[in-house]
Amino acid sequence: MAVALITGANKGIGFETAKQLRELGHLVYVGARDVERGEKAAATLGARFVQLDVTDDASVSKALATIDAAEGRLDILVNNAGVLGYGAVDGPTALHAFDTNVVGVVRVTEAGLPLLRKSANPTVVNLSSSAGSFWAVTNPERPEFNLPVAFYSASKAAVTMLTVQYAKSEPGIKFNAIEPGTTATDLTAAFGVGRTPEESAKVVVRWATLDADGPTGTFQEESGELSW
Ligand code: NAP
């Protein structure tokens, strides 16, 4: 049984990932910034809840300290919390997108590293996006070519680069960046596109449950490796 933490697990792909990891028999911590929504999700799943706002250092430290005190290790970290950063093209909107999507990954990963290093098979999955692939956004054959989400794309490109950098600096821990597949969630509601979170969570779970000798430092979509 692995100990897993999923950020932003009160709904969407994060919730479904938590559900599927529970169904596999793992001990799951639902990280959510809102206590009521997080506790409700954890109760539904038979999971544990930690209050965790990825933009708040104190909240992240406290959440990881809670897991440390109870479990003494972390085997699976899914950096899932994210925002679209859609709307006004200005400094505050860009800061919010980068604070949540990029700095949030750094905060949670840094707080989680001491616990991950105590695991026999530590695995980190970063929810990136093909919208952050230079190859996809410059390829007219790909749907990302027409996506008008500059801050989201730029922040996810940074998440993918962070994944590679962490994979290099922490060779004992697997770090992979995932495009889960276009999914109908609150994040994409404005576009009215996507498949169910259940289907996309299967991709996340596959990468969260790698064997100890599994790949690291890669960028993946469901059908295989994604070009940078
Ligand atoms: P979603 O349904 O909107 O869920 C996003 C989750 O992130 C929610 O639980 C939300 O919590 C949480 N969150 C936002 N800001 C947070 C913060 N500061 N601290 C903690 N949690 C925070 O979106 P989703 O589609 O499931 O997205 C999950 C991940 O997959 C994101 O990283 C997204 O970029 C990535 N992704 C999605 C798609 C897609 O097609 N949907 C495609 C590629 C990648 P609240 O409920 O409190 O807002």
pLDDT tier for residue 93 given thresholds of 50, 70 and 90: very high
pLDDT score for 27: 98
State mean pLDDT over 24-53. 98
Q: Which domains does the chain have, with CATH numbers?
A: 3-225 (3.40.50.720)
Query: Strands 76-79, 123-127: parallel, antiparallel or unpaired by DSSP?
Result: parallel
- Count the Cβ atoms, other than its own, within 10 Å of residue 139: 13
Q: State yes or no: is 174 an active-site residue.
A: no
Q: Which of 29, 57, 101, 185 to mutate to test the pocket of ligand 1 (most atoms within 8 A of CB)?
A: 185
State mean pLDDT over 191-214. 96
pLDDT score for 87: 85
Greatest distance between any 2 Cα atoms in the chain? 50
Helix axes 57-71 and 104-116, enclosed angle (nearest 10) = 20
Q: Which of 62, 187, 196, 221 to mutate to test the pocket of ligand 1 (most atoms within 8 A of CB)?
A: 187
3-state secondary structure of 13: helix
Enumerate the H helices of 3-133 as residue ranges: 12-23, 35-45, 57-71, 91-98, 104-116
Task: Report the DSSP beta bridge partners of residue 41.
Answer: none
pTM: 0.98
Catalytic residue from among 129, 130, 153, 200: 129
pLDDT tier for residue 111 given thresholds of 50, 70 and 90: very high
Q: Which atom of ligand 1 is nearest to the CA of 100?
A: 18
